[in-house]
Amino acid sequence: MSDAEDVITRAHHEEWARVVAALTRRFGDLDIAEEAAAEAFATAVERWPADGVPPNPGAWLTTTANRKAIDRIRRENKRDDKHKEAQMVYDNDPPEPVGAVDDDRLRLIFTCCHPALAMEARLALTLRMVGGLTVPEIARAFLVAETAMERRITRAKAKIKAARIPYRVPAVEDLPARVSGVLAVLYLVFNEGYLATGPATDPLRHGLTAEAIRLTRLIRALMPGDGEVAGLLALMLLTEARRTARISAGGELVALDEQDRGAWDTGLIAEGHRLVRERLAAAAAGAAPGRYQILAAINAVHTSARDIRDTDWSQVLALYDQLVRLDPSPIIALNRAIAVAELDGPRVALAAVDRLEDKLAGYHAYHATRADLLRRQGHSQQSRAAYDKAIELAGNTAETAYLTRRRDQLR
Amino acid sequence: MRYLVSVIDDKSNPGSTDRRPAISAFNERLIAEGYWVFSGGLADTDAATVIDNRGEQAVFSDGPFVESKEYLAGVWVWEAPDLDVALKLAAEASKVCDRKVEVRPFR
């Protein structure tokens, strides 16, 4: 009994996107594909525990979903002509330029992450169509009412159909921009799990980080040659490795310098380091690394230090310098200043941070960083004011707890 | 698939007025490549008249966009196989006419 349930759970993880993608290609309609896939899985839940698991669960699910889709189209045969008319545009050429595999799942991912869709629609659609999460699950993850989430997904599907967003892997010349659009969606999902923005949820939501990693692994398998895909996966793994050490028993965020490094997940770190080494070799051969690869490398430096005092800060700073050239955003400059503080002291770092005031005055991490740098110079009064401001702006409960303790330790 | 491409101008920050030759050249290319169905620039919103004849008698008034900051300055109609093609052309169109453009499919 529970064997069949395990197989179904696994099949859902492994086969959902494949079934939806294949059906979308065959029937040219995301709605039909989604509904038929859901029905096929529901049938499996009903039958497999009693009848036994079929020898090839994936093939069984695809066949069953195909039959459900055909049933639905027949049932609505009145709509048939209209349906043919509204079919999505797809190409029949295998998407060879990106990788070794011709996989419909790539088409599905690029369609769900299409730049003509609003970012929140892309997130929802990707989690539903590629990730196989249910609408209530996605609604809970983003603190949106179920009906609103349902509407968001329905509207996105309607736009794909009405505006003819194609079901295809982009042309080689458009690929880097489109891949970075896909990665941005996955990184947002991951970050929401890594440090939830709202005060009304758990501060860390493992479900979301795990889902983001699973989907990034899938894209990595589909596009093994893409450096930024490898970089993002490494970045997620090296961040996730520290998950349990990031929250204290009392529910307070634990900063990097106070974490119990023995609690880090060595398996994830080893996997992340392997990916970073792979990209370093590519960079040595002349491939210019993108921002995810550089961020992953920074995390690799941190996770290589068994003690905070062993951290190679000059390496961290060199990587931030590289990143600033690629992405001159004030948030990167803020993080760079933290490395500067370790090398040149808090006074030099504070001067660099203060220059960012115009752009970051509304960002809690700006004030938290200032507070810490002021504290380290013994300016308790000013530090307290900066902590107050950071606490006022921070949304995450674990972070607020951490900042409050730090403030109250000042004398 | 047909797409309506609306050129959106901003009264407080209008696009440049010397775009005509570039737009003509772009139109010729659209025609040569088979995308062009129709195009035209519009007179100022001051010149618009709204007619509402749903009641007893026809009522005439100024257009609703006279007071608005953003307004429709011109249109294209294109025939394109899918949105990716239309968006690529629209990105060029925005540069060529120095204004925002909206791409909207016909039903």
pLDDT in tens, chain A (411 residues): 468 888 888 888 889 999 999 999 999 899 999 999 999 999 999 999 999 999 999 999 999 999 999 999 888 876 556 555 556 666 555 444 444 345 788 899 999 999 999 999 999 999 999 988 889 888 887 778 999 999 999 999 999 999 999 988 888 888 888 898 899 999 988 988 887 665 555 655 777 899 899 999 988 988 888 999 999 999 999 999 999 899 888 888 898 989 999 999 999 999 999 999 999 999 999 989 999 999 999 999 999 999 999 999 999 999 999 999 998 899 999 999 999 999 999 999 999 999 999 999 999 999 999 999 999 999 999 999 999 999 999 878 888 999 999 999 987
Residue A251 has phi, psi (to 5 degrees) of: 80, 25
The size of chain B, in residues, is 107
Structural domains in chain A, CATH included, are 2-88 (1.10.1740), 333-411 (1.25.40.10)
The whole-number pLDDT of residue A199 equals 57
Question: Cα angle vertex A136, ends A268, A181, to 5°?
Answer: 55
Nearest one of A18, A37, A200 to A109, comparing CA atoms:
A18
Q: Report yes or no on B54 lying in a domain.
A: no
Phi and psi angles of residue B52, each rounded to the nearest 5 degrees, phi first: -120, 105
Q: How many other CB atoms sit within 10 Å of the CB of residue B49?
A: 8
Enter the DSSP assignment of A26.
Answer: H
Q: 3-class SS at A160?
A: helix
Please check whether residue B90 is in contact with residue B101, taking contact to mean a CB–CB distance below 8 angstroms. yes
Write out pLDDT tens, residues A78-135: 655 655 555 666 655 544 444 434 578 889 999 999 999 999 999 999 999 998 888 9
Does residue B60 lie in a domain region? no
In the Cβ-directed half-sphere of A328, how many Cα atoms lie within 13 Å? 1
Asked if the structure places residue B84 within a domain, the reply is yes
CA distance B104 to B85: 13
- What residues of chain A lie within 8 A of the CB of B84, using their CB? 165-166, 168, 170, 174
Can you tell me whether residue A293 is helix, strand or coil? Answer: helix
**Cα–Cα distance list, A237 to A15, A33, A327 (Å):** 23, 32, 22
How many angstroms separate the CA atoms of A256 and A274, rounded?
Answer: 22
The C-alpha angle with vertex B56 and arms to B52 and B57, in degrees rounded to 5, equals 55
Verify whether the Cβ–Cβ distance B83 to A116 is below 8 Å.
yes
Q: Chain B residue closest to A110 (CA)?
A: B84
**Best B1, B2, B84 residue to mutate vs chain A (most A CBs within 10 Å):** B84
Find the closest chain B residue to A169 by CA distance: B84
Q: Please give the helix or strand (H or E) that residue A25 lies within, else none.
A: helix A2-27
Buried b / exposed e across A348-360, counting CB within 10 Å, b at 16+? ebbebbeebeeeb
pLDDT of residue A70: 92
Cα–Cα distance measured from residue A82 to residue A409, given in angstroms and rounded to the nearest whole number: 69
Question: Does residue B57 fall inside a structural domain?
Answer: no
**Model pLDDT, residue A13:** 85
The Cα–Cα gap between B6 and A407 comes to 54
Task: Enter the DSSP assignment of A10.
Answer: H
Q: Are A166 and B83 an interchain contact pair (Cβ–Cβ within 8 Å)?
A: yes
Q: Are A263 and A306 in contact (CB under 8 A)?
A: no
State the pLDDT at residue A372: 95
Chain B interface mutation, best of A88, A164, A167, A175, highest count of B Cβ atoms under 10 Å? A164
Torsion angles phi and psi, residue A89, rounded to 5: -85, 130
Query: How close, in Å, is residue A114 to chain B by CA atoms?
Result: 9
Q: Residue B87 falls within a domain, yes or no?
A: yes
What confidence score (pLDDT) does residue A280 get?
94
Please choose, from the candidates A72, A4, A6, A14, the residue with its C-alpha nearest in 3D space to the C-alpha of residue A39: A72
**Domain annotation covers residue B22:** yes
Residue of chain A whose alpha carbon sits nearest to that of B4: A163
pLDDT score of A100 = 37
Distance from CA of B8 to the nearest CA of A (A): 18
C-beta atoms surrounding B106 within 10 Å: 10
| Contact between chains at B107 and A162 (C-beta distance less than 8 A) | yes
A170 interaction partners in chain B (CB closer than 8 Å): 84
Residue A116 contacts B where some CB pair is shorter than 8 Å: yes
Q: What is the pLDDT of residue A14?
A: 85
Do residue A163 and residue B83 have CB atoms under 8 angstroms apart? yes
Beta strands in B11-69 (DSSP E): 36-41, 49-52, 59-62
Report the gap between the CA of B47 and the closest CA in chain A (Å). Answer: 32
A349 and A341 Cβ atoms separated by less than 8 Å: yes
Q: Give the pLDDT of residue B103.
A: 98
CATH number at residue B93: 3.30.70.1060
Return the residue of B nearest to A85 by Cα: B1
Question: Does B103 contact A164 at a Cβ distance shorter than 8 Å?
Answer: no
Cβ neighbors of A239 (< 8 A, separation 6 or more) are A190, A194, A209, A299
Q: CA Rg, chain A, in Å?
A: 24
Tokens standing for residue B32: 């040569």
CA of A162 to nearest chain B CA: how many angstroms apart? Answer: 7
Minimal CA separation from B26 to chain A, in Å: 22
Count the helices and strands in chain B (H runs, E runs): 2, 6
Contact yes or no for B84 and A170 at CB 8 A: yes
Distance in Å, alpha carbon of B14 to nearest chain A alpha carbon: 25
Listing DSSP states for A93-147 in one string gives S--GGG-S---HHHHHHHHHT-TTS-HHHHHHHIIIIIT---HHHHHHHTT--HH
In a domain, B61, yes or no: no
Q: Tens digit of pLDDT for each residue in B39-96? A: 999 998 989 999 999 999 999 998 888 888 999 999 999 999 999 999 999 999 999 9
Interface of B with A in 68-107 (CB under 8 A): 81-84, 87, 103-105, 107
Distances (CA, A) of A60 to A15, A110, A217: 10, 26, 24
Where in the sequence is the domain holding B85, given as residue range(s)?
Answer: 2-42+68-105
| Interface predicted TM-score (ipTM) of this complex, two decimals | 0.87
- Chain A residues within an 8 Å CB radius of B1: 164
What's the structural domain count of chain B?
1
Assigned token pair, A279: 């990209």
